[in-house]
Amino acid sequence: MRFPSLPFIVSFTAFHIFITPVLQFLRLMSVPVTVPNPHIAELAVDNYYHLGFNSSQDLKSMFGDVKFVLFGGSNERMETIAHEFAKTFFPLPLGSTLTPIGSTTRYHMYKVGPILTASHQMGMASFSILVHEMTKLLAASGATDVVYLRIGTSGGLGLSPGTVVITNQSMNGLLTPTFELISLGKRHEYPSTLHPDVIEGLKKAAEQNNVSNVVIGNTMSVDCFYEGQGRLDGALCEYNSEDKFEFIKRAEAVGVKNIEMESLMFGAFCARAGIKAGVICITLVDRTKGDQVSYTHDQYTAWLDSSLNIVKRYVANTLGLTYKA
């Protein structure tokens, strides 16, 4: 057996003595939300136009404590989620009610303790405006260690409706993991990645909740509900059922478990902005069985609850809160 050389032993020991504490210290340091765009600093006042706030306001006292932003499509769902977080972790002062903050023309936002919930409506274009303005607002507020989560709905592939999918990797309609943005007449491709800490944290929370209807897999994300998702029930359709199933097989072969309309842009934006992000969606329909979406109110509530309970557990684990399922 060969013994390690002296220089190796010296550098190995030095690494452990000096570098390990530095790495531990860095891990404990808080990470502020920042905006990489240098032009923002030149603005006297930045108007977060679609949110109904601006940078001249006392944003620090309003949003400086935010740790999680929970995004989802519908106004109603984001109100329900805010209520759930108030009920479980941050009771509202006696006699007060939860009301949306800022402008409600485009999105609805609620704040409960260090949690913001915000509806992004449908599709990447709408969500992109929200994440740009949300990130600028949180950066101006001095918020630190913020995690973004999309709690959404989707169509499943070979999964019974109500299954919860934690996204590993988002893919575009060509089944590659890049988000395409056309800017100044040029095509840009950005890798879309969700943060491994968030994926792991959601997985662990799902295990702790001991729920069986959870899968981890890839998500196809496209800016279209009908033809872009290979549905046969849109007003227009130029392919047949065989074409649809041939594509679904190809998607399944690269690990796609569900299809939705936002995670690709979300993953690319958050990776570029240096924000930890994750996506957890319930499935509303099994696309290998049909295209029409229909469910009862009670089913929807139960399905949403199982994804929400995972998110609650993950938030509790991250913020050191007590959570009983």
Residues that bind ligand R2B (CB under 6 A): 73, 122, 152-154, 225, 260-262
CB of 70 to ligand URA, least distance (A): 18
Q: Identify the residue among 118, 165, 285, 311 touching ligand URA (CB under 6 A).
A: 285
The residue of the chain with the least Cβ separation from ligand URA equals: 155
Q: Does 293 bind ligand URA (CB under 6 A)?
A: yes
Q: Please give the full DSSP string across 173-200, using - where no structure is assigned.
A: TTS-SEEEEEETTEEEEEE----HHHHH
Nearer to ligand R2B (CB atom), residue 66 or residue 165: 165
Cβ-based neighbour number of residue 212 at 10 Å: 7
| Rounded Cα gap, residues 277 and 43, in angstroms | 28
Residue from 95, 311, 58, 128 nearest 208 by CA: 311
Distances (CA, A) of 79 to 186, 203, 246, 292, 314: 39, 25, 39, 26, 19
CB of 262 to ligand URA, least distance (A): 8
CB of 121 to ligand R2B, least distance (A): 7
Which x/- pattern, by CB under 6 A, does the window 23-52 give for ligand URA? ------------------------------
Q: Does 260 bind ligand URA (CB under 6 A)?
A: yes
Nearer to ligand R2B (CB atom), residue 90 or residue 226: 226
Residue from 113, 48, 105 nearest 75 by CA: 105
- Given the rule CB under 6 A, which of 60-68, 161-169, 187-195, 254-262 is the region that contacts ligand URA? 254-262
CB of 73 to ligand R2B, least distance (A): 4
Mapped onto helix, strand or coil, the DSSP state of residue 147 is strand
Locus of tokens 């295990």: 207
The amino acid at 275:
I
Residues 149-208 that bind ligand URA (CB under 6 A): 153-155
Which of ligand URA, ligand R2B, none binds 259 (CB below 5-8 Å, type-dependent)? ligand URA
Q: Where are the alpha helices (DSSP H) in 89-234?
A: 124-141, 196-209
C-alpha 169, offset from chain centre: 12
Contact positions toward ligand URA, by CB under 6 A?
153-155, 225, 229, 259-261, 284-285, 293
